[in-house]
A and B are shown apart, each in its own frame.
Chain A
Amino acid sequence: MANMSMTKLPMPEQDPDVRNHNFQEVALGYTPEMAVEEAGRCLQCKKPLCVSGCPVNVHIPEFIAKVAEGDFKAAYEIIYQTNGLPAVSGRVCPQESQCESLCVRGKKGEPVAIGRLERFVADWYRENVTEKAEKPASNGIKVAVVGSGPAGLTCASDLGKLGYEVTIFEAFHTPGGVLVYGIPQFRLPKEIVRHEVEGILDLGVELSLDTVVGKTITIDELFEMGFQAVFVGSGAGLPMFMGIPGETLNGVYSANEFLTRVNLMKAYLEEYDTPIKHSRAVAVVGGGNVAMDAARCAKRLGAEHVYVVYRRSEAEMPARAEEIHHAKEEGIEFHLLNNPTQILSDGKGSVAGMECIRMELGEPDESGRRRPVEVPGSEFVLEVDTVIMSLGTTPNPLIRSTTPGLETNRKGCLIVQEDTMETTRKGVYAGGDAVTGAATVILAMGAGKKAAAAIHAALQAQ
């Protein structure tokens, strides 16, 4: 008999006033008993809508049935068939707009906590199963993957399982892309990312770190080296600034720089050498998940006041409701319907404050969101010593500028065939933020998966 509770079983979390002083994971995960109980809420639909809401099509009812039986190992194996990074996606996917949004239980009450269950299964497996996946027999065909973020890792994982000799080329000294430099430790522990990457390397996938494709090596050279296909998953890492006065003052960061220092270089740990400014009051400009991450990191680094400055209202914020909720619990202060006009100097090259202007919402614009309009004469100064610009990112031009025949749209995103993910250059495929501009981890994973299937089909047809 199914568990007919209308609500999801809550997941234990660190207390807000404790966690805003540390970088340990906020959500603590289900216990085995909790997982079995929540799994009982799944109705095992014959035609499960949840699966169609998942960009990598995890066989959701099947794995949940195994969780309900207490066979967590079998549950993991079902998930892993289609998802190479379950501990990651279980943590950072916006399930409310994907799998869980289509769950029948969500029509009356809350949907089944699919994300929490996926996370539980992946964590249980990591902690309890030490045997390594068997390395598939090589088919002798070399494929190159550019970038080791979620798109590249998923593509490499799928091709590795099929026996391809895959090499991932990564510009940084650590694999994971946004999973290591962007998403903070308290949302996604880096040990987990490392473990997931190692699982992919166990398939025989090679990893070439410190290799900047477009600089150290070009895509043409990869083909000369015998790679039969190339997947470009280089992301959208180029930060945008506002173009207002004062943006080159000390104490103004792009969210990318701030988060890279904190997460990748571990500037929050004393024993690491990379410095970070320890601020008294911080303004984070923007309303996306990255803005929430930056604000919550700033709080943990000891800032007394952390403000999120966003030009529209909370309803238009692109960040997940859960992240906004977590940020508020941790004492982040929201200045909504405000826009910066200039950053003020202390006369010695550092930030002394930020002048903002109040906004009101006008008619909807082409994105469907109501356009913010300045309220004349409403300028005021926010007293901050640090400003973090979190306005979004665009794809880095490094690869497209060094690869003849690779076409992009006016935003610099690579143009691909929707069904195959092949770019305008034969044999070169692309996916993730390099194609869509800044989007989500799971969409990048879905794109990597689709490209892997297309690469497999194309190479088998040859």
Chain B
Amino acid sequence: MAKIITKRRLNPTVTLMEVSAPLIAKKALPGQFIILRVDEKGERIPLTIADYDREKGTITIIFQKVGLTTELLDTLEEGDDILDFVGPLGRPTELEGVKKVAVIGGGVGCAIAYPQAKYLHEHGVAVDVIAGFRSKDIVILEEEFQAACDHLYLTTDDGSYGERGLVTDKLKALIEAGNQYDVVIAIGPIIMMKFVCKTTEPYGIKTLVSLNPIMIDGTGMCGGCRVSVGGQMKFACVDGPDFDGHQVDFDELMARNAAYKEREAQVRRDHACRLLNQEVQ
């Protein structure tokens, strides 16, 4: 069990929780994730480690309410326990020897891009962050990003905040302006990661993506999270979740992530009572 120390809503659908998990905090590195289960009848879901504090023994998670489990999680308050909290899982991002990087976050993916930027910035790497959102009302972590990079470029699709446009437009402009990135790190919706990779490919810039396939155990024992990378089958939970974006079959990943769409919608409807119970308690 892991106790929730702080809970903060970052925007109407995105919540941050700082959770007490000393053993995980001791080992966590950027790129790794945890698996959690909210209650006895719950499913196991993966969430990336958005931050960690080795002294305090805490792990920060940031999640968007997209279905039953994240809704249930969001009903928990400070002082409550998350039933199961396992990690750190997956391989840390490999970033040895890089001098300048562009970290690109899309929407709630910024929560996962943030620890990467922070870690690199703290280790003396020049970091440009491009954080993209649909509109102003869902912007998250702006202050945190400001402190964790050299340049922050904030974009919104509708121009309601920051620059109008897509992250890929900004990235292309920065590259064209002469910025020489050793690595581009892209984290966000699959479609965004796919197009970031298409943008960097002609320039031959190494691009890392953090994949988010469906997972169950997160320790390599089921293969539910398998993805095709360079034509080979990989298990994202143990071989990743970071992969060379130019090798990833994004269309396949998108199809696989839709496998339980109908069932997910049905579970969300049928379990309204469980959500209600949780809120009443």
The residues of A with any CB-CB pair to B shorter than 8 Å are 171-173, 209-212, 215-217, 237-239, 241, 243, 247-248, 250-251, 253-254, 256-257, 260-261, 265-266, 270-275, 277, 348-350, 396-398
Contact = CB atoms under 8 A, between A and B. Distances in A.
19 contacts: A171-B86, A172-B217, A173-B37, A173-B44, A211-B23, A212-B87, A238-B220, A241-B223, A248-B227, A257-B216, A257-B223, A260-B222, A261-B216, A265-B44, A273-B41, A274-B216, A275-B264, A349-B252, A350-B255
Q: For the complex of A and B, list the 6 residue pairs with the smallest distance between their C-beta atoms, beginning with the closest.
A: A349-B255, A237-B221, A257-B222, A275-B263, A273-B43, A275-B260
Contacts of A172: 217
Given A257-B222, A265-B44, A273-B68, A212 B89 contact: yes
B105 interface: no
Nearest to B36: A210
A248 B260 contact: no
Contacts, number: 112
Nearest to A251: B259
A198 B111 CA distance: 41
B219 interface: yes
A256 B222 contact: yes
Contacts of B255: 250, 348-350
B69 interface: yes
A253 B214 CA distance: 12
Given A173-B83, A256-B221, A398-B220, A215 B88 contact: yes
B224 interface: yes
Contacts of A398: 219-220, 238
A173 B226 contact: no
Contact of B221 (A215, A274, A396): A396
Contacts of B216: 257, 260-261, 265, 274
Contacts of A397: 220, 238
Given A216-B87, A250-B255, A254-B223, 4 more contacts: A257-B216, A265-B43, A272-B41, A273-B69
Contacts of B42: 273
Contacts of B88: 215-216
Interface in B225-245: 226-228, 233, 238
Contact of B27 (A215, A272, A274, A396): A215
A271 B267 CA distance: 9
Contacts of A256: 221-223
B63 interface: no
A239 B221 contact: yes
The CB with the most chain B CB atoms within 10 A, among A248, A261, A270, is that of A248
B281 to A, nearest CB: 18
Interface string B172-187: 0000000000000000
A270 B68 CA distance: 14
B206 interface: no
B250 interface: no
Interface in B78-131: 83-89
B219 A171 contact: yes
Contacts of A211: 23, 86
Contacts of A265: 43-44, 216
Contacts of B264: 275
Given A248-B226, A248-B256, A216 B220 contact: no
Nearest to B67: A273
Contacts of B86: 171, 173, 210-212, 216
A272 B69 CA distance: 11
In this complex, which of A171, A215, A238, A272 has the most chain B Cβ atoms within 10 angstroms of its Cβ?
Answer: A215
B71 to A, nearest CB: 11
Nearest to B232: A243
A253 B258 CA distance: 15
